[in-house]
Structure 1
Amino acid sequence: MTEPGIHPHAATGLIDARLAQAGWQRLNAQQGEALAAAQRLHGLDLSSARGRAAIEEGDFIVIPVELVLCQDGEFRETRVIFALGHQQLISVEQGLRLHALDRASEQLFASMADGCALDPCTMMFCLLEALNEAAHASLRGIAARLDERSDAVAAASGGFDTAKRQAGVADIAGTAMALGEAEELVAKAVEGQLMLARAGRWLRRAAGDARLGPRLSVLLSDIHSLRRYARFQHDKIRNLQQSLMTTLDIKQNQVIKVFTVVTAVFTPPTLVAAFYGQNFAYMPELALPWGEWMVMGLTGLFALMPLAYIKRKGWMR
């Protein structure tokens, strides 16, 4: 929310300053001096190397959250470390400034303008809610890309693409690699929802059931529902991968079958050619005026006999 005549960056700085007065100190890992000062002041470890465990340090509960969010058109893995205290909330973003937290800060600033009192637990609830909504939007984007990949898998499984060109092993391999990347993103999204749920449970413990009980229960239910949706997308990817592997096996079997048929057809003529390539002293059919045509006819007949047998057995289908 930007007032007329105020530059967006200046408005963002104003919002951050007002929220810092209310109790939310928003930091970034790139702000080395400010982050080090906050760690010294509160005796906390808010570095990216602190691990993934949620622990109590002094008067704070330090909770790391890792998510896959779509920002600026790209899916990125991001990490936010929350330090929830009785009088202050500290958040440390790793890398880019998250748009989801920007929207949450604007909502909190609007609430302050309306005269609503804010406390660290209420602010963290709004942040978790904004992160969950951003994760939901990211999963919808991943699901939309998976639908496109499903068409590619269907083309590969059917054998031909839209240009009537037979889909080969290289096409299947490229689609499989893309599915592997999508699977990794969705797996991290599932893990992110688990970390969000953990943060929500820590928040409920800190805030108590009376303050945020109903709203927090709804948020935790939404987080778990989104986790189930992410698992559904993960299962969908696995099914697509299995379909691709089945198609690849079929194509490999077809290649082997073609070579087997070619070998069966050309083995008898090869034997005939090898026989007449020997240096025998006497070959009576060479004296016959139609001997060459007889050998050529027998060679063709011997080549067609295994082909007819293979076709009769249905091995060419």
Structure 2
Amino acid sequence: MFLAHPLGTEAAPVSERTDPSIAAWFDLLNPTDEEHALAERLTGLRIPTRQEVEEIESSSRVYTRGKVLYLSTPLVRRFDDTSFSSPVGFVLSPDRLVTIRYTDYTVFETVGRQLAAPPDQKAAIPAMSEMKPGTPPDAETIMQLLLEAMVDRLADVLELAGHDLDSLSKRVFGAQQPHRGDTDRRLRALLSRLGTLTDLVSSVRDSLLGLQRIATFVRENGDRPCSERFAARLTLLSKDISSLNDYDAQLNNKTQFLLDATLGFINIEQNNGIKLLTVVSLIGIPPTLIASIYGMNFKDIPELNWSFGYWYALSLMALTIVLPLIWFWRKGWLGSR
């Protein structure tokens, strides 16, 4: 999909007859080869391919060609209880911005609605309120809106992840423990959820690092200096990203702690199972020994002709079962006293 965002109107599909001067922002969503070639013809800019946008080297993610900045970053998207990262690319020229993405992030639709909003609503948007009345937003302003919306969205994702970790922490260390039969299912669910949150927190960190690299590169690039207003906003954005990185690191430490705690509880449950098997095996050995002794076919067994010998042997077997059980109970292996 190839969209243009003209000022004051909703996003519109781009065709061969589209006048490239109608918009300062062109958006490529999972473009086909034909749409990729059309974007290059209309804008006069080289548009990177998906393979180029997915490059992980720093020199491949942020670089310049003349007065044009080529920027890319992985951006995480959370969908229900799952998350994934997809590359996002920016081509920033002095008069035009082209974005390349391969999934439908809500921040792009949000910024598109802001550009199409009435003038009174635009005045409430910090990036657009600083502009002179009647001045259409330029490529830098649109880029600023997108970056700030992305950081705000990542902050919301981290906030939700923090709430989820608080809930999991209460489930891990909750005072009310479920029945023993539910323990395995509960611990499996906790491990699965912790794994999902760990992956999400790690993906958010990658996105924040990519946006931090973009903000620093655009602000400090000498080949294509940005405006003072844009540089000031990027400085504030970098501070917000730094604070989110600290919070992300805190969440990562918490997920590791909860993961270690859950694995510790699993070890405890396994030890309890081993204890139970030990108890069962030990209390079964003495009665077996007694039954084996009195089951031997020897004529001179003293209790062989005793009228109470049978009940004596049964009582002795019961005693060898009860005494170990009392000892294990006092040791705490069979539950608290």
Same fold per superposition (TM over 0.5): yes
Paired with 2:154 and 2:172, the residues of 1 have a C-alpha distance of 26
What is the aligned-residue RMSD (CA, Å)?
A: 3.0
Q: 1:215 to 1:55 in 2, by over 3 A?
A: closer
1:125 matched to 2:133? The reply is no
Q: CA deviation at 1:114?
A: 4.5
Paired with 1:189 and 1:150, the residues of 2 have a C-alpha distance of 21
Which amino acid in the other structure matches residue 102 of structure 1?
Answer: E
* Corresponding residue for residue 13 of structure 1: 12
> Could you tell me whether the CA contact under 8 Å between 2:10 and 2:112 is conserved in 1?
no
> Which has the larger helix fraction?
1
- Report SS of the residue matched to 1:42: coil
1:103 matched to 2:80? The reply is no
* Corresponding residue for residue 97 of structure 2: 89
Q: Paired residue for 1:152, among 171, 177, 195? A: 171
Which amino acid in the other structure matches residue 13 of structure 1?
Answer: A
Q: Paired residue for 2:264, among 217, 223, 246? A: 246
Paired with 1:139 and 1:103, the residues of 2 have a C-alpha distance of 19
* Corresponding residue for residue 241 of structure 2: 223
Q: % of aligned pairs identical?
A: 26
Higher mean alpha-carbon deviation, 122-131 vs 71-80, is at 71-80
- Unpaired segments of 5 or more residues in structure 2? 1-8, 117-121, 123-127
> Could you tell me whether the CA contact under 8 Å between 2:286 and 2:317 is conserved in 1?
yes
Q: CA deviation at 1:183?
A: 0.4
- TM-score (ref. length: structure 1): 0.83
Q: CA deviation at 1:285?
A: 1.3
> Could you tell me whether the CA contact under 8 Å between 2:62 and 2:72 is conserved in 1?
no
Q: 1:197 to 1:61 in 2, by over 3 A?
A: same
Paired with 1:42 and 1:11, the residues of 2 have a C-alpha distance of 24
- Report SS of the residue matched to 1:65: strand
* Corresponding residue for residue 303 of structure 1: 321
Task: Give per-residue Cα distances to partners, 1:252-273, cap 9 Å, x unaligned.
Answer: 1111112212222221101111
1:169 matched to 2:184? The reply is yes
Q: Paired residue for 1:187, among 182, 202, 215? A: 202
- Unpaired segments of 5 or more residues in structure 1? 1-9
Q: Paired residue for 1:63, among 61, 65, 71? A: 71
Q: CA deviation at 1:11?
A: 2.9
> Could you tell me whether the CA contact under 8 Å between 2:77 and 2:83 is conserved in 1?
yes
Which amino acid in the other structure matches residue 103 of structure 1?
Answer: T
Higher mean alpha-carbon deviation, 107-116 vs 178-187, is at 107-116
* Corresponding residue for residue 308 of structure 2: 290
Q: Paired residue for 1:213, among 231, 249, 255? A: 231
Paired with 1:167 and 1:212, the residues of 2 have a C-alpha distance of 56
Count of matched residue pairs: 303
- Report SS of the residue matched to 1:90: strand
Task: Give per-residue Cα distances to partners, 1:206-232, cap 9 Å, x unaligned.
Answer: 444733232221111111111211222
Which amino acid in the other structure matches residue 10 of structure 2?
Answer: A
* Corresponding residue for residue 5 of structure 2: none
